[in-house]
Structures are given as structure tokens and as C-alpha cells.
Structure 1
Amino acid sequence: MAKAFASQGDMTEKKTSFTEIGEGLYAFTAEGDPNSGVIIGDDSVMIVEAQATPRLANKVIDCVRSVTDKPISHVVLTHYHAVRVLGASAFGAGQIIMSDTARAMVVERGQEDWDSEFQRFPRLFEGHESIPGLTWPTTTFSDEMTVYLGNRKVEIKQIGRAHTAGDAVIWVPDAQTMFTGDIVEYHSACYCGDGHYEDWGGTLDNVKAYDPQFIAPGRGDALVGREMVDAALENTRDFVESTYRPVKQVAAKGGSLKDAWDAVREVCDPKFKDYAIYEHCLPFNVARAYDEARGIDTPRIWTAERDIAMWEQLQS
């Protein structure tokens, strides 16, 4: 391999923030590292996204304990990626919730994803020795489900493919607040290596149809107010489209993966090169876009070996 993945060299600890985005609603953010969400009900707490390890999850728990002593009863995982789910055991929740599709992806590729992500982004697995194994949900749903935290209604739904085929969003109607997972990002690159480019824009439209006043995105700052929400939705759309469009053009002409890489860099570097994890995501985004543009609907499974082979091909 000519050089390491950008993520392998990213060892700088990120500053965390814990932002109130509504009554009893918080976003735990970390300068482009994976976010978590907190929903406080009458009697208990729901966590959205579990972090990559129990040690990192404890940072979220410390923030929760700074604002409430209510027990953590639910953990909702918006998709299957290791950096989002492997810390779930730390919360001691009675229910761990995923979509049926996300659970099926754990079965199909959960271990491979863990091995792949651990190799290419070691910093996010601080305390990895504390991970008890793959995270399995206790509860799944096909399209949507509702959880009541006392009187507080929380809707968990699949509203379209985007970051993965199993993406879920969490909607808190009394506060017009949505936790989107990696469907929406803010000044952070989208990771599209397991994504669905053709569907992503429609899924963003479905998010916008809820008219959220607040969004806790997958990465980046909490989005407060309609103006900031709309800007993030359109910025996410631009990122996805700016990545996919040049790859489709290359694929239509029979160009190579390296041709697609060069075409994406020409379009995206001027707009997004200063975004968090841009260089980390780019090779995986291009590889997935190249596959989808050639008719491969189901993302191929990333393995530690495939990661290296792809990277060597792009560096050749």
C-alpha cells in the first residue's frame, strides 16, 4: 500500500459537546466523530446511537448523568455500522432497537464491518477490548414503531435508503425534532461506502417533509432552527450528488475506478476538502458510486482485505 488511509493517521482527540436542542433532548457531538442523541421522557431515557466501544459510550452516559438521574431504558441504533453500535452494552438498556433490515445486515456483514472499520479508523475504537461482541437488537421493526417514554411519544421509522439500506430516523413530535443518523451530516463528509446514491435525495425530501425545527445529524453540530436544518439538508444533497454525478459519467464511458476517483476529486475537492473525515470517506465513496453506476444495487461487503486492495488500486 503506497500510503495509509487518512483515517489511520487521525489520532487527535476531538472536543465533545453536549447541546440541548429541545426540552429533554440533547445532541452529543465530537467535531466530526459519530454523534449520539438523548431523549428524556417522564420516567426514563432513550439513547440514539451507542458509539464504537463501551468506553466511549461512558462519555455519553456521563453527559446524561449531568442532566438527569432517570434510568436508560432504550437504545436505538439507526443502522448497523460498528462505530455506531458496539458500545451498546455500556448503557444497560432493556431494549436495543434496530430496523429488521439493519439486523439482517449485522447477520450478513457485521463482523466484516467491525474488522474493516477497526483497521481503517483505530482512534474510534478507544477501549476496544471492552466490546463484548457484535451488538444484537432485542426489538426490531419493519417500517415503523412507536415508543412511549411515559407521555412522551417517540416514532422510529424507515423513510428511505441513504447511508445504508437499513437507515432509521427517530422523530419526537412534541418538539419537532429528528435524529437522522448519517442520512444528514453537517460540515462533515457523508460516508457513502454502503450507501444508495440514487435514493438518498428522495430520503432527504422525506426528512424535510416532517418540517423539523431541530435535527441531531450523524456527524457535526446540532442543527437548531429551520434555516440551519434546511442548509444542512441541501448541503448533504450537494455532497452526495457531487460525488455520484461525475462517477456516473465516467462509468457510462467505460472508465476505470481510478478515472472515477480523479473525476470526483476535481468536482468535490474545491467544495468539501475541509470537511471532517473527507479524505477518510472519499475512497470508499468513489468505490461504492462506481459500483452503483454500473448497476450493483446491493453494496458489496467491505472487508479489511478489500479495503487494502481498493486503496492500492486508487494509488496505482
Structure 2
Amino acid sequence: MTNTYTRGLHEIAAGIWAWLLPDGGWGMSNAGLVQGEGQSFLVDTLFDLPLTTEMLDAMADLTASTPIQGVLNTHANSDHCFGNQLLDDTVTVYATSETDHEIQHGTTPERLHMLATSDFGPVLSPFLRSCFGAFDFTGITLRNADTVFDDSLTVTVGGRDVELLRLGPAHTVGDAIAHVPDAGVIFAGDLLFIGGTPIMWAGSLTNWLRACDRMTALDPTVVVPGHGPLTDVDGIAKMRGYLAHVKDRIADGVEAGRPWRETADRMDLDRYASWPQAERIVVTTYQAYRQAAVDTPQEDGIDLFGEMAAWQQRHVRKR
């Protein structure tokens, strides 16, 4: 599939729009709008209020005649839900029950501001600034779901069905996608990264592979990833290949009795080594070890970012 990967609103099917944010790295996430007769449905908000305002302003001509009636937060990562407060009170916020719980009890804007501005030393501080320093976390008030679902839910938007399907845990505990069957469009959230390395905050890898297969089985014409350019089933297949590869390499490490850090450090990423954000393999390996019931003490989030920063120093910058 060929497409133009530029910042802004792109019509990808009749009455369906993708909002793209290059370069697709940390916090630079995609979203979307589905129009029906007299109504529309939003998929995700963005990482801060200025970014979400920019997106909603760009959609204003569309939503003037088809007001937004609902929004799906595909998962609880902040770059997919921190703009919820900018939606009208009449807009119904949808999420899986796990995502709603994680939004309520997970990362706060204050914590992200602290991570982006505090001094954590010469290795971690530059890494955190590269991840979060470009964003404005002031003024954000968390807005939780109004309607939660546990498996699937079909929302009718001006006569048009939008299927909300829970496929997690994979990237996070409660990942969901939005499928528009009449157009063959999937909004995949962070179940799909294109042009970047995925990261598993919850998992398992086995279930993430299953999620890829379920998306492929829907036979979409266009897939909007959580990060990166538009794609189709070929993009799903490429990321599935990465997940299968690292699953096998991690299993080798577990079988050999290596600690998770050693397995991550020795990871042969093969043809995937050139993908941006390769250091995310650290978190994926850690989570896979914990799910394999290997004796793996729980790590704080800041410690995992420190491990990623150190891995990047050792592996990425010496290339």
C-alpha cells in the first residue's frame, strides 16, 4: 500500500478520516473520524490539549454537520486519551473495562511532566526528554469512560455500524480496535505500529499474535495504526513477524536460564534491528519473562525507562 504520510486529516474511505502525526515516535499518535448520517464517531484523542485542539479544529467543518456522538479510547496510554476533556459533555466515551480502570489509576499528566523536566542523570534525562519533552501536560483533566465493554460492542453512528472489538491484553491490558465493516477500515490503536518498534506493557506476545490474526481475518482494505503511516494486511503481517521473532528469542533466553536483562541485551533483532525505537525490546522482554512465571521482580516504570535508555546507549548509538 502506498500513501502520503503527512501531518493532518486524510480521507481514507467515504466518510472516514485518519488523523496522522509523523514521525509516529513516542507520543506522536494517530486518531480518526467516522461519519454517518448527521453524526460522527471519533477514535482516540491525543497526548496533550494543543495537539487535540489542532485535530478537532481540522475536523470542525466535518463535525459541524455531523457532530461527534462518541469516542473510543483504544487503550489507556496517555497519547490516546489525554484530550478527552475537550469533547462536549454530550459525547459518550467508550473503552474496555480494563482501559477505563487504567485511565483512572494509571499515569497522570503531573508524572509525565515530572519525567520530562526532572534531572535523572546524563543517560536517562536526555532519553526521557526525547520521549516526552515536546508535549505540554498542563491543564489536563482526566476524563474516564461513560460506557465500558468487555468483549465487543457495536455503535450505530447515523445508520453506520462501528464495531468496537477488545483484542487485548497485548500492548496494554485492554486494547481495542474500531472496525467499520461497510468500508473495510480498521483503527488498530497501538496493536499496530508501522515504521517503529512495538512495545508490550502488558501482553502476552501469544495474545498479541492472536490479535494480529483477528485483524487480518477482518480482511481490511485500510488499517490506521496507532503510530506510523496508513497500511493494510501487509503491515499487520510485518509487525506480526517482529512479534513472532522476539517471542522465539525470548523463549530461548528463558530456556537457557538467562535473566531477562541479559536476554534483552543479547537480543538478535535480525532484520528488525533498524526499526526506530529498538530499545523497546527491553520492556517487551521484561513483561514476557514475568508472564512466563520466571522469577522476575517487579520493576518501576522509571526503572524500565532507565533500562531502555541504557540499552539504546549500548546498541543503537554505536551503529
Structure 2 CA distance for aligned equivalents of residues 301 and 111 of structure 1: 18
Q: Is the 8 A contact 1:46 1:75 kept in 2?
A: yes
Q: Which residue pairs with 2:240 in the alignment?
A: 237
Are the structure 2 counterparts of residues 249 and 115 from structure 1 closer, same or farther at C-alpha, using a change threshold of 3 Å? same
- TM-superposed CA distance for 1:113, in Å, is 11
- TM-superposed CA distance for 1:36, in Å, is 0.7
Q: Is the 8 A contact 2:76 2:99 kept in 1?
A: yes
1:18 equivalent in alignment to 2:14? no
Gaps of 5+ in 2: 117-127, 315-319
The 5 A counterparts of 1:16-55 are 16-30=7-21, 31-32=23-24, 33-55=28-50
Q: Which residue pairs with 1:250 in the alignment?
A: 253
SS class of match (1:104): helix
Structure 2 CA distance for aligned equivalents of residues 89 and 296 of structure 1: 41
Structure 2 CA distance for aligned equivalents of residues 245 and 257 of structure 1: 14
Structure 2 CA distance for aligned equivalents of residues 308 and 190 of structure 1: 18
Are the structure 2 counterparts of residues 54 and 28 from structure 1 closer, same or farther at C-alpha, using a change threshold of 3 Å? same
Q: Is the 8 A contact 2:17 2:34 kept in 1?
A: yes
Q: Which residue pairs with 2:305 in the alignment?
A: 307
Are the structure 2 counterparts of residues 88 and 241 from structure 1 closer, same or farther at C-alpha, using a change threshold of 3 Å? same
SS class of match (1:205): helix
SS class of match (1:34): coil
Q: Which residue pairs with 2:136 in the alignment?
A: 127
Q: Is the 8 A contact 1:160 1:202 kept in 2?
A: no
1:277 equivalent in alignment to 2:269? no
1:96 equivalent in alignment to 2:93? yes
Q: Is the 8 A contact 2:93 2:145 kept in 1?
A: yes
1:57 equivalent in alignment to 2:48? no
TM-score, length-normalised on structure 1? Answer: 0.81
Are the structure 2 counterparts of residues 100 and 258 from structure 1 closer, same or farther at C-alpha, using a change threshold of 3 Å? closer
> Which digits, 9 at most, give the CA deviation of each residue in 1:117-176, with x for residues without a partner?
95432145x2211212x3311111121112111111111111343212211111111111
- TM-superposed CA distance for 1:110, in Å, is 4.0
- TM-superposed CA distance for 1:260, in Å, is 1.0
Structure 1 CA distance for aligned equivalents of residues 250 and 162 of structure 2: 39
Q: Which residue pairs with 1:222 in the alignment?
A: 230
Q: Is the 8 A contact 2:48 2:137 kept in 1?
A: yes
More helix by share: 1
Partner letter of residue 242 of structure 1?
H
Q: Which residue pairs with 1:288 in the alignment?
A: 287
Q: Is the 8 A contact 1:161 1:203 kept in 2?
A: no
1:189 equivalent in alignment to 2:197? yes
1:166 equivalent in alignment to 2:174? yes
Identity of aligned residues (%): 21
Partner letter of residue 271 of structure 1?
R
Are the structure 2 counterparts of residues 77 and 154 from structure 1 closer, same or farther at C-alpha, using a change threshold of 3 Å? same
Structure 2 CA distance for aligned equivalents of residues 117 and 221 of structure 1: 30
Q: Is the 8 A contact 1:41 1:152 kept in 2?
A: yes
TM-score, length-normalised on structure 2? Answer: 0.80
- TM-superposed CA distance for 1:313, in Å, is 8.9
SS class of match (2:148): strand
From 46, 67, 70, the equivalent of 1:71 is 67
From 58, 67, 77, the equivalent of 1:81 is 77
**Aligned residues between the structures:** 291
Gaps of 5+ in 1: 1-13, 224-228
Are the structure 2 counterparts of residues 153 and 242 from structure 1 closer, same or farther at C-alpha, using a change threshold of 3 Å? same
From 206, 210, 220, the equivalent of 1:202 is 210
- TM-superposed CA distance for 1:15, in Å, is 5.4
SS class of match (2:59): helix
- TM-superposed CA distance for 1:306, in Å, is 5.2
Partner letter of residue 261 of structure 2?
K
Structure 1 CA distance for aligned equivalents of residues 212 and 190 of structure 2: 11
Structure 2 CA distance for aligned equivalents of residues 155 and 211 of structure 1: 14
Partner letter of residue 14 of structure 2?
E
Partner letter of residue 282 of structure 1?
I
SS class of match (2:182): helix
Further displaced range: 19-28 or 90-99: 90-99
Q: Which residue pairs with 1:9 in the alignment?
A: none
Q: Which residue pairs with 2:122 in the alignment?
A: none
